[in-house]
């Protein structure tokens, strides 16, 4: 290494040092601290802080409420990501094919995506109002209690989430559609390809990669989701919308068991990182294959 290279390396380290220090303190340290917390009985209001080993994890393994929350997280993630994917692609195709009203539609999509999730929760709480909600008055014709019914509550939450995050998929897919050269379609048309054939053999294969990325981001967000269900249903009725994040929150700040709640937090953490890692591997393999 020449002295010039060494100097340039030193300057680089100097530039990156402040940000890395802050990140280490605000992200790295808490990430390690939560692991340590999850191994403790920690109840600040009673001044309890003692080592518990794997007791919380052992308890969770046999805790039906934990498995119920894990199932709800899984169902919520699967249903909302799948719906967002299908609807997002349809919306992207519709935007692409229709110049008229495109700007309006695009702004509307972005707006739904950019608003606070708490606002979305309030919009849908009002739409789902049993007596005066638009959903019951216009669509159902009778007073269904959407957010209070153990069967309807989770689909109601999923619908609100799909409304809020489908635009993310739609915008990514639309951006990709714009980069497909029109010669491809013209050539296919000359060869007598049908509309469905073009969709099946040109459009969808070219969308594949971007959709995989969109699904990765959406899956991570869905597993981490908290605001919407916490504000809409608080995990109720009868815990039917209680995801792992809501259970963790209740453990932490309603039961005030910081150690126990942290253990659920760690599990969500591991879950998210596993999903991210698996997807990155998949994407890398795709990249090599392409």
Determine phi and psi for 238, rounding to 5 degrees.
50, 40
Residues contacting residue 18 through CB under 8 Å, at least 6 positions apart: none
Q: Is 12 in the site for another protein (CB under 8 A)?
A: yes
Taking the complex as a whole, how short is the minimal distance between the CB of residue 142 and another protein, in angstroms? Answer: 13
Reported as half-sphere exposure (CB side, CA atoms, 13 A), residue 66 has a value of 17
d(CA 1, CA 289): 36
Contact status, residue 267 vs residue 60, Cβ threshold 8 Å: yes
What is the closest distance, in whole angstroms, from the C-beta atom of residue 213 to another protein in the complex?
6
From CA 109, how far away is CA 167, in angstroms rounded? 5
* Closer CB to another protein, 67 or 126, in the complex: 126
Residue 146 as a binder of another protein (CB under 8 A): the answer is no
Q: How far is the CB of 157 from another protein (least distance, A)?
A: 14
Q: Which is nearer to another protein, 131 or 190 (CB)?
A: 131
Can residue 256 be called a binding residue for another protein (CB under 8 A)? Answer: no
If one asks whether residue 94 binds another protein (CB under 8 A), the answer comes out as: yes
Query: How many residues make contact with another protein (CB under 8 A)?
Result: 99
Taking Cα atoms as reference points, which of 107, 102, 63, 122 lies closest to residue 250? Answer: 63
Under rule CB under 8 A, which residues in 14-43 are in contact with another protein? 15-16, 18-20, 22-23, 26-31, 33-34, 37
3-state secondary structure 19-60: HHHHHHHHHHHHHHHHHHHCCEEEEHHHCEEEECCCHHHHHH
Among 83, 173, 229, 265, binds another protein (CB under 8 A): 265
CB of 171 to another protein, least distance (A): 6
> Rule CB under 8 A: which of 193-252 touch another protein?
195-196, 198-199, 203, 210, 213-214, 217, 220, 223-224, 226-227, 230-231, 244-245, 248-249, 252
């Amino acid at each position: 290494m020449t002295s010039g290279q060494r100097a340039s390396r030193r300057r680089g380290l100097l530039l990156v040092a402040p940000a890395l220090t802050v990140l280490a303190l605000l992200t790295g340290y808490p990430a390690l601290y939560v692991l340590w917390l999850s191994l403790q009985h920690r109840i600040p209001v009673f001044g309890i802080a003692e080592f518990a080993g794997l007791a919380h994890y052992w308890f969770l393994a046999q805790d039906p409420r934990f498995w119920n929350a894990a199932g709800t997280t899984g169902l919520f993630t699967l249903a909302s990501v799948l719906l967002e994917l299908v609807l997002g692609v349809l919306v992207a195709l519709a935007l692409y094919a229709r110049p008229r009203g495109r700007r309006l539609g695009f702004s509307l999509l972005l707006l739904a995506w950019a608003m606070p999730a708490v606002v979305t929760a309030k919009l849908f709480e009002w739409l789902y109002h049993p007596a005066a909600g638009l959903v019951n008055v216009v669509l159902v014709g009778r007073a269904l209690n959407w957010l209070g019914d153990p069967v309807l509550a989770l689909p109601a939450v999923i619908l609100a989430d799909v409304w809020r995050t489908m635009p993310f998929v739609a915008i990514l897919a639309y951006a990709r559609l714009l980069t497909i050269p029109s010669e491809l379609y013209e050539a296919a048309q000359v060869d007598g390809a049908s509309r469905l054939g073009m969709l099946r053999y040109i459009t969808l294969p070219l969308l594949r990669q971007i959709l995989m990325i969109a699904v990765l981001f959406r899956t991570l967000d869905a597993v981490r989701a908290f605001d919407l269900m916490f504000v809409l249903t608080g995990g109720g009725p009868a815990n039917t919308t209680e995801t792992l994040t809501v259970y963790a929150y209740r453990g932490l700040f309603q039961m005030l068991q910081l150690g126990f709640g942290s253990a659920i937090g760690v599990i969500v953490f591991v879950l998210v990182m596993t999903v991210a890692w698996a997807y990155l591997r998949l994407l890398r393999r795709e990249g090599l294959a392409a």
